Chains A and B, each alone.
Chain A
Amino acid sequence: AQSVAQPEDQVNVAEGNPLTVKCTYSVSGNPYLFWYVQYPNRGLQFLLKYITGDNLVKGSYGFEAEFNKSQTSFHLKKPSALVSDSALYFCAVRPIYNQGGKLIFGQGTELSVKP
């Protein structure tokens, strides 16, 4: 079965420190990969995507993500965390050969950045 795993329900980081939010996937073929962020009582906001090419992709608000095909991972990173980065983060994959371009989401990781 196709799935996305975010092994950490919560990640706690001090402001100014680097952060990593982990994501692994189990999908046949070479999927497209995405990260979204959700603030309380809001919809999902697109951060970045990996389609092909360089394994390190850069996105909005200083976030980046590293694609590792051998480990089937797509971890989200930021060199220096801000308190305002505190939110719920979702990794999603879109299998290339699937119906209608649907996204398969992980269960989410709550990021808490303390001053």
Chain B
Amino acid sequence: DAGVTQSPTHLIKTRGQQVTLRCSPISGHKSVSWYQQVLGQGPQFIFQYYEKEERGRGNFPDRFSARQFPNYSSELNVNALLLGDSALYLCASSKDRGPQSLYEQYFGPGTRLTVT
């Protein structure tokens, strides 16, 4: 079975530009979460989507937005890029979304974003 896939693998953008990252969950998984991993740190939660609705948001500015499509794939958008947005962006999928969920999240390989 295919795992979580993300595209592109690497991306270089200039300050002030906008970027869109894409994620396809494991087949049968309806929940997608996005995390930002800055070099040398653990991943930080950005968003969770389930059934096309936002179910959780981390402490990120409004420049960050996301959406989930009917096929459960997801996009993460970042506007007005800053140097500090340079990071590995990870997508994770799981079978369901609730706080009581017993299911673990499975992560994709990530998109490495470099802002110059």
Q: Which residues of A contact B (CB under 8 A)?
A: 4, 32, 34, 36, 41-46, 49, 51, 90, 92, 94-108
Using Cβ atoms and an 8 Å threshold, which residues of chain B touch A42? 109-110
Lowest 9 CB-CB distances: which A-B pairs, in order?
A: A100-B56, A105-B42, A100-B48, A100-B55, A99-B56, A102-B45, A43-B107, A44-B107, A43-B109
Give the number of residues in B that approach A within 8 Å (Cβ atoms): 35
| Bound: A48/B78 CA distance, A | 32
Q: Which residues of B contact A (CB under 8 A)?
A: 4, 6, 31, 33, 35, 40-45, 47-48, 50, 54-58, 90, 92, 94, 97-102, 104-110
Using Cβ atoms and an 8 Å threshold, which residues of chain A touch B90? 43-44
Name which of A94, A96, A100, A105 has the most chain B CB atoms within 10 A of its CB: A100
Using Cβ atoms and an 8 Å threshold, which residues of chain B touch A104? 45
A98:B105 contact, CB within 8 angstroms: no
Report B31 CB to chain A, min CB distance, Å. Answer: 7
| Bound: A96/B98 CA distance, A | 9
B104:A99 contact, CB within 8 angstroms: no
| Bound: A42/B90 CA distance, A | 10
Using Cβ atoms and an 8 Å threshold, which residues of chain B touch A99? 48, 55-57
A-B contact pairs, 21 of them (CB 8 A): A4-B42, A32-B102, A43-B4, A44-B43, A45-B107, A49-B104, A51-B102, A90-B42, A97-B99, A98-B99, A100-B50, A100-B56, A101-B56, A102-B33, A102-B48, A102-B56, A102-B58, A103-B45, A103-B105, A104-B45, A105-B43
Using Cβ atoms and an 8 Å threshold, which residues of chain B touch A44? 43, 90, 92, 107
| Bound: A92/B92 CA distance, A | 14
A43:B108 contact, CB within 8 angstroms: yes
| Bound: A97/B42 CA distance, A | 21
Given known contacts A90-B43, A108-B41, A108-B42, is B107 in contact with A101 (CB within 8 Å)?
Answer: no
